[in-house]
Amino acid sequence: MAKPKVFVTRIVPEKGLSLVRDFCEADIWQDEMPPSRADLLARVRDVDGLLSLLTDKIDAELMDAAPRLKVISNMAVGVDNVDVAAATARRIPVGNTPGVLTDATADHAFALMLSAARRIVEGEKYVRAGKWITWHPQLLLGADFAGATLGIIGFGRIGQAVAKRAQGFDLHVIYHDPSARPAYGATPTDLGTLLRESDFISLHVPLTEQTRHMINAETLRKMKPNAILVNTARGPVVDSQALYIALKSKQIFAAALDVTEPEPLPVDSPLLELDNCLIVPHLGSASRQTRDEMSFLAAQNLIAGLKGERLPNCVNPQLYD
Protein backbone atom coordinates (compact mmCIF):
# COMPACT_ATOMS: atom_id res chain seq x y z
CA MET A 1 0.00 0.00 0.00
CA ALA A 2 1.25 3.51 -0.82
CA LYS A 3 2.56 5.46 2.15
CA PRO A 4 0.72 8.67 3.10
CA LYS A 5 2.34 11.88 1.85
CA VAL A 6 3.44 14.49 4.35
CA PHE A 7 5.25 17.82 4.27
CA VAL A 8 7.68 18.62 7.10
CA THR A 9 8.49 22.32 7.09
CA ARG A 10 12.11 22.08 8.36
CA ILE A 11 14.70 19.49 9.31
CA VAL A 12 13.58 18.54 12.82
CA PRO A 13 15.62 16.23 15.11
CA GLU A 14 16.22 12.73 13.75
CA LYS A 15 14.30 11.08 16.59
CA GLY A 16 11.04 12.40 15.12
CA LEU A 17 12.13 12.46 11.51
CA SER A 18 13.01 8.78 11.36
CA LEU A 19 9.58 7.86 12.72
CA VAL A 20 7.98 10.06 10.04
CA ARG A 21 10.12 8.50 7.29
CA ASP A 22 9.26 4.95 8.42
CA PHE A 23 5.55 5.54 8.05
CA CYS A 24 5.27 8.26 5.38
CA GLU A 25 6.50 9.49 2.07
CA ALA A 26 8.04 12.64 3.51
CA ASP A 27 8.86 15.84 1.69
CA ILE A 28 11.22 17.63 4.10
CA TRP A 29 12.03 21.31 3.59
CA GLN A 30 15.84 21.50 3.62
CA ASP A 31 16.55 25.23 4.00
CA GLU A 32 17.54 26.93 7.23
CA MET A 33 14.84 29.52 6.53
CA PRO A 34 11.19 28.45 6.61
CA PRO A 35 9.32 27.91 3.33
CA SER A 36 7.87 31.11 1.86
CA ARG A 37 4.10 31.40 1.78
CA ALA A 38 4.08 30.45 -1.92
CA ASP A 39 6.30 27.42 -1.27
CA LEU A 40 4.18 26.32 1.66
CA LEU A 41 0.95 26.56 -0.37
CA ALA A 42 2.53 24.66 -3.25
CA ARG A 43 4.07 21.90 -1.11
CA VAL A 44 0.84 21.05 0.78
CA ARG A 45 -1.26 20.65 -2.38
CA ASP A 46 -1.40 16.85 -2.35
CA VAL A 47 -0.32 15.95 1.20
CA ASP A 48 -2.24 13.90 3.76
CA GLY A 49 -0.36 15.34 6.72
CA LEU A 50 1.62 18.41 7.72
CA LEU A 51 4.32 18.70 10.39
CA SER A 52 4.68 22.44 11.00
CA LEU A 53 6.67 24.77 13.24
CA LEU A 54 5.75 28.00 15.01
CA THR A 55 7.25 29.96 12.11
CA ASP A 56 4.61 28.63 9.69
CA LYS A 57 1.24 30.31 9.33
CA ILE A 58 -1.32 27.53 9.05
CA ASP A 59 -4.59 29.24 8.19
CA ALA A 60 -7.84 28.55 6.33
CA GLU A 61 -6.29 29.46 2.97
CA LEU A 62 -3.58 26.86 3.48
CA MET A 63 -6.07 24.21 4.56
CA ASP A 64 -8.14 24.90 1.44
CA ALA A 65 -5.00 24.57 -0.66
CA ALA A 66 -4.53 21.07 0.81
CA PRO A 67 -7.79 19.22 0.08
CA ARG A 68 -6.43 15.84 1.31
CA LEU A 69 -5.08 17.17 4.61
CA LYS A 70 -6.03 14.85 7.49
CA VAL A 71 -3.81 16.13 10.28
CA ILE A 72 -1.75 19.17 11.32
CA SER A 73 1.01 18.41 13.80
CA ASN A 74 2.68 21.53 15.21
CA MET A 75 6.06 20.93 16.86
CA ALA A 76 5.44 23.42 19.70
CA VAL A 77 3.16 23.70 22.69
CA GLY A 78 1.83 27.07 21.45
CA VAL A 79 -0.54 26.87 18.50
CA ASP A 80 -1.12 30.58 17.88
CA ASN A 81 0.34 30.08 14.38
CA VAL A 82 -2.48 27.65 13.55
CA ASP A 83 -6.08 28.68 12.95
CA VAL A 84 -7.48 25.90 15.14
CA ALA A 85 -11.11 26.99 14.55
CA ALA A 86 -10.61 26.71 10.78
CA ALA A 87 -9.07 23.24 11.24
CA THR A 88 -11.95 22.14 13.49
CA ALA A 89 -14.49 23.40 10.94
CA ARG A 90 -12.75 21.18 8.37
CA ARG A 91 -12.56 18.26 10.87
CA ILE A 92 -8.76 18.32 10.82
CA PRO A 93 -7.19 17.41 14.18
CA VAL A 94 -4.34 19.67 15.33
CA GLY A 95 -1.55 18.26 17.50
CA ASN A 96 0.92 20.07 19.74
CA THR A 97 3.79 19.05 22.04
CA PRO A 98 3.06 19.95 25.69
CA GLY A 99 4.70 18.32 28.70
CA VAL A 100 8.01 17.36 27.12
CA LEU A 101 9.18 20.99 27.13
CA THR A 102 7.89 22.06 30.54
CA ASP A 103 11.15 21.67 32.50
CA ALA A 104 13.37 23.13 29.78
CA THR A 105 11.16 26.20 29.44
CA ALA A 106 10.87 26.72 33.21
CA ASP A 107 14.67 26.37 33.52
CA HIS A 108 15.06 28.97 30.80
CA ALA A 109 12.66 31.39 32.49
CA PHE A 110 14.71 30.99 35.66
CA ALA A 111 17.99 31.50 33.79
CA LEU A 112 16.63 34.73 32.36
CA MET A 113 15.32 35.87 35.72
CA LEU A 114 18.68 35.23 37.41
CA SER A 115 20.60 36.82 34.54
CA ALA A 116 18.51 39.99 34.61
CA ALA A 117 18.55 40.18 38.42
CA ARG A 118 22.32 39.72 38.67
CA ARG A 119 23.14 41.62 35.47
CA ILE A 120 25.08 38.71 33.97
CA VAL A 121 25.04 39.93 30.37
CA GLU A 122 26.02 43.49 31.34
CA GLY A 123 28.88 42.06 33.40
CA GLU A 124 30.07 39.88 30.55
CA LYS A 125 30.04 42.81 28.11
CA TYR A 126 31.92 44.91 30.71
CA VAL A 127 34.73 42.37 30.95
CA ARG A 128 35.05 41.94 27.18
CA ALA A 129 35.11 45.73 26.71
CA GLY A 130 38.22 45.88 28.94
CA LYS A 131 36.42 47.92 31.62
CA TRP A 132 37.22 45.58 34.56
CA ILE A 133 39.98 47.53 36.29
CA THR A 134 39.10 46.84 39.94
CA TRP A 135 36.54 45.30 42.30
CA HIS A 136 34.15 48.09 43.21
CA PRO A 137 31.56 47.98 46.01
CA GLN A 138 28.97 49.66 43.77
CA LEU A 139 29.61 47.85 40.50
CA LEU A 140 26.58 46.45 38.61
CA LEU A 141 24.40 45.94 41.66
CA GLY A 142 21.36 43.77 41.10
CA ALA A 143 18.47 42.21 43.00
CA ASP A 144 18.10 39.42 45.59
CA PHE A 145 15.82 36.42 45.17
CA ALA A 146 15.37 35.29 48.81
CA GLY A 147 12.31 36.95 50.30
CA ALA A 148 11.33 38.69 47.04
CA THR A 149 7.92 38.16 45.43
CA LEU A 150 7.57 36.37 42.12
CA GLY A 151 4.31 36.90 40.26
CA ILE A 152 3.46 34.24 37.69
CA ILE A 153 0.89 35.14 35.04
CA GLY A 154 -0.55 31.92 33.61
CA PHE A 155 -0.30 28.95 35.98
CA GLY A 156 -0.39 25.98 33.62
CA ARG A 157 2.33 23.35 33.39
CA ILE A 158 5.20 25.78 32.77
CA GLY A 159 4.02 28.42 35.23
CA GLN A 160 3.79 25.74 37.92
CA ALA A 161 7.25 24.40 37.07
CA VAL A 162 8.58 27.93 37.59
CA ALA A 163 6.84 28.06 41.00
CA LYS A 164 8.43 24.73 41.90
CA ARG A 165 11.89 26.10 41.15
CA ALA A 166 11.09 29.31 43.05
CA GLN A 167 10.61 27.33 46.27
CA GLY A 168 14.31 26.47 46.25
CA PHE A 169 15.20 30.16 45.97
CA ASP A 170 13.00 31.19 48.92
CA LEU A 171 10.84 33.38 46.72
CA HIS A 172 7.31 34.21 47.82
CA VAL A 173 5.15 33.18 44.85
CA ILE A 174 1.79 34.57 43.78
CA TYR A 175 0.02 33.80 40.52
CA HIS A 176 -2.82 35.02 38.36
CA ASP A 177 -4.79 32.37 36.49
CA PRO A 178 -8.51 32.08 37.19
CA SER A 179 -8.56 28.48 35.94
CA ALA A 180 -5.66 27.07 38.01
CA ARG A 181 -5.55 25.56 41.46
CA PRO A 182 -2.77 26.56 43.92
CA ALA A 183 0.41 24.46 43.77
CA TYR A 184 4.01 24.62 45.04
CA GLY A 185 3.14 27.10 47.77
CA ALA A 186 1.95 29.74 45.27
CA THR A 187 -1.07 31.86 46.19
CA PRO A 188 -3.70 32.97 43.65
CA THR A 189 -4.40 36.66 43.27
CA ASP A 190 -5.94 39.16 40.86
CA LEU A 191 -3.84 40.71 38.13
CA GLY A 192 -3.73 44.20 39.67
CA THR A 193 -2.39 42.88 43.00
CA LEU A 194 0.17 40.72 41.23
CA LEU A 195 1.44 43.70 39.20
CA ARG A 196 1.65 45.95 42.26
CA GLU A 197 3.32 43.44 44.61
CA SER A 198 5.76 41.47 42.46
CA ASP A 199 9.50 42.05 42.30
CA PHE A 200 9.70 39.53 39.44
CA ILE A 201 6.93 38.89 36.92
CA SER A 202 7.09 35.84 34.67
CA LEU A 203 4.64 35.35 31.78
CA HIS A 204 3.27 31.88 30.97
CA VAL A 205 0.02 32.48 29.11
CA PRO A 206 -0.70 31.35 25.55
CA LEU A 207 -1.12 34.08 22.94
CA THR A 208 -4.84 34.68 22.36
CA GLU A 209 -6.94 37.75 21.59
CA GLN A 210 -7.38 38.11 25.40
CA THR A 211 -3.67 38.01 26.21
CA ARG A 212 -2.36 40.08 23.27
CA HIS A 213 -0.66 43.18 24.77
CA MET A 214 -1.82 42.30 28.31
CA ILE A 215 1.47 43.90 29.36
CA ASN A 216 0.99 47.44 28.08
CA ALA A 217 1.54 51.05 29.21
CA GLU A 218 -1.21 50.74 31.81
CA THR A 219 -0.13 47.41 33.31
CA LEU A 220 3.56 48.44 33.24
CA ARG A 221 2.64 51.58 35.19
CA LYS A 222 1.31 49.39 38.02
CA MET A 223 4.63 47.52 38.43
CA LYS A 224 7.23 48.37 41.07
CA PRO A 225 10.27 50.44 40.01
CA ASN A 226 12.48 47.43 40.86
CA ALA A 227 10.31 45.00 38.85
CA ILE A 228 11.95 42.54 36.46
CA LEU A 229 9.70 41.25 33.67
CA VAL A 230 10.46 37.87 32.09
CA ASN A 231 8.72 36.71 28.91
CA THR A 232 9.17 33.14 27.71
CA ALA A 233 5.56 32.90 26.44
CA ARG A 234 4.89 34.76 23.18
CA GLY A 235 6.22 38.17 22.11
CA PRO A 236 2.88 39.88 21.42
CA VAL A 237 1.73 39.30 25.03
CA VAL A 238 3.88 42.40 25.67
CA ASP A 239 3.43 45.72 23.87
CA SER A 240 7.07 46.23 22.95
CA GLN A 241 6.78 49.99 22.41
CA ALA A 242 5.30 50.46 25.87
CA LEU A 243 8.01 48.18 27.30
CA TYR A 244 10.72 50.23 25.61
CA ILE A 245 9.37 53.43 27.20
CA ALA A 246 9.08 51.78 30.65
CA LEU A 247 12.66 50.43 30.49
CA LYS A 248 14.21 53.57 29.02
CA SER A 249 12.61 55.80 31.68
CA LYS A 250 13.54 53.25 34.43
CA GLN A 251 9.87 52.92 35.33
CA ILE A 252 10.78 49.24 35.83
CA PHE A 253 14.26 47.85 36.49
CA ALA A 254 14.73 45.34 33.67
CA ALA A 255 13.20 42.88 31.24
CA ALA A 256 14.43 39.53 29.97
CA LEU A 257 12.82 38.40 26.76
CA ASP A 258 13.01 35.02 25.09
CA VAL A 259 10.25 36.03 22.69
CA THR A 260 9.64 39.35 20.98
CA GLU A 261 7.21 41.27 18.85
CA PRO A 262 7.94 40.84 15.97
CA GLU A 263 10.09 37.75 15.74
CA PRO A 264 12.91 37.75 14.83
CA LEU A 265 13.50 41.15 16.39
CA PRO A 266 14.81 43.60 13.73
CA VAL A 267 18.43 44.61 14.39
CA ASP A 268 17.38 48.26 14.52
CA SER A 269 14.83 47.63 17.30
CA PRO A 270 15.17 50.34 19.99
CA LEU A 271 15.00 47.57 22.64
CA LEU A 272 18.51 46.55 21.57
CA GLU A 273 19.86 49.94 22.68
CA LEU A 274 18.92 49.26 26.30
CA ASP A 275 21.32 47.71 28.83
CA ASN A 276 18.38 46.74 31.04
CA CYS A 277 16.77 44.60 28.36
CA LEU A 278 18.18 41.12 27.88
CA ILE A 279 17.04 39.37 24.70
CA VAL A 280 17.64 35.83 23.46
CA PRO A 281 16.27 34.25 20.24
CA HIS A 282 13.27 32.13 21.38
CA LEU A 283 15.25 29.35 23.07
CA GLY A 284 12.76 28.28 25.76
CA SER A 285 12.64 24.62 24.71
CA ALA A 286 16.10 24.59 23.12
CA SER A 287 17.80 21.69 24.87
CA ARG A 288 18.88 18.66 22.83
CA GLN A 289 16.77 16.18 24.76
CA THR A 290 13.69 18.39 24.78
CA ARG A 291 13.82 19.04 21.04
CA ASP A 292 14.27 15.28 20.45
CA GLU A 293 11.16 14.59 22.52
CA MET A 294 9.20 17.38 20.81
CA SER A 295 10.02 15.98 17.37
CA PHE A 296 9.04 12.47 18.50
CA LEU A 297 5.72 13.61 19.93
CA ALA A 298 5.03 15.68 16.81
CA ALA A 299 5.73 12.58 14.68
CA GLN A 300 3.41 10.47 16.88
CA ASN A 301 0.63 13.07 16.52
CA LEU A 302 1.14 13.15 12.75
CA ILE A 303 1.05 9.38 12.34
CA ALA A 304 -1.98 8.93 14.61
CA GLY A 305 -3.85 11.50 12.51
CA LEU A 306 -2.87 9.75 9.29
CA LYS A 307 -4.18 6.45 10.69
CA GLY A 308 -7.44 8.11 11.70
CA GLU A 309 -6.59 7.52 15.39
CA ARG A 310 -6.88 9.99 18.25
CA LEU A 311 -3.76 12.20 18.45
CA PRO A 312 -1.72 11.67 21.67
CA ASN A 313 -1.94 15.47 22.13
CA CYS A 314 -4.81 17.13 20.36
CA VAL A 315 -5.82 20.80 20.78
CA ASN A 316 -9.27 20.30 19.22
CA PRO A 317 -10.37 17.05 20.96
CA GLN A 318 -14.04 17.98 20.44
CA LEU A 319 -13.56 16.34 17.04
CA TYR A 320 -13.65 12.99 18.87
CA ASP A 321 -16.91 13.68 20.77
Distance in Å, CB of 211 to ligand GLV, minimum: 14
- The answer to whether residues 313 and 97 touch, using CB atoms and an 8 Å cutoff, is yes
The reply on whether position 76 binds ligand GLV by CB under 6 A is: yes
Instruction: Let me know if 282 is a catalytic residue.
Output: yes
Distance in Å, CB of 96 to ligand GLV, minimum: 8
The reply on whether position 101 binds ligand GLV by CB under 6 A is: yes
Amino acid at 225: P
Instruction: Let me know if 68 is a catalytic residue.
Output: no
DSSP-derived secondary structure letter, 274: -
Q: Per-residue x/- mask for ligand GLV, residues 50 to 69, rule CB under 6 A?
A: ----x---------------
The reply on whether position 77 binds ligand GLV by CB under 6 A is: yes
Q: Per-residue x/- mask for ligand GLV, residues 247 to 286, rule CB under 6 A?
A: -------------------------------------xx-
- The answer to whether residues 16 and 26 touch, using CB atoms and an 8 Å cutoff, is no
- The answer to whether residues 128 and 135 touch, using CB atoms and an 8 Å cutoff, is no
Of 118, 122, 263, 310, catalytic: 263
Distance in Å, CB of 206 to ligand GLV, minimum: 8
Phi, psi of 73 (to 5 degrees): -115, 110
Of these, 41, 55, 78, 156, which contacts ligand GLV (CB under 6 A)? 78
Instruction: Let me know if 204 is a catalytic residue.
Output: no
Of 43, 165, 204, 234, catalytic: 234
Upper half-sphere CA count for residue 55 (Cβ side, 13 Å): 13
Complex with ligand GLV: residue 285 or 295, whichever CB lies closer: 285
Which of the stretches 72-80, 144-152, 266-274, 302-310 binds ligand GLV when contact is defined by CB under 6 A?
72-80
Angle value at C-alpha 195, between 104 and 180, nearest 5 degrees: 55
The candidate with the shortest Cα–Cα distance to 315, out of 87, 9, 17, is: 87
Distance CA 69, CA 61 (A): 12
- The answer to whether residues 183 and 163 touch, using CB atoms and an 8 Å cutoff, is yes
Complex with ligand GLV: residue 119 or 285, whichever CB lies closer: 285
Of 43, 119, 176, 282, catalytic: 282
- Which residues inside 230-249 make contact with ligand GLV, applying CB under 6 A? none
Distance CA 303, CA 306 (A): 5
Distance CA 163, CA 186 (A): 7
Q: Residue length, the chain?
A: 321
Interface with ligand GLV (CB under 6 A): 54, 76-78, 101, 284-285
What is the set of active-site residues?
Answer: 234, 263, 282
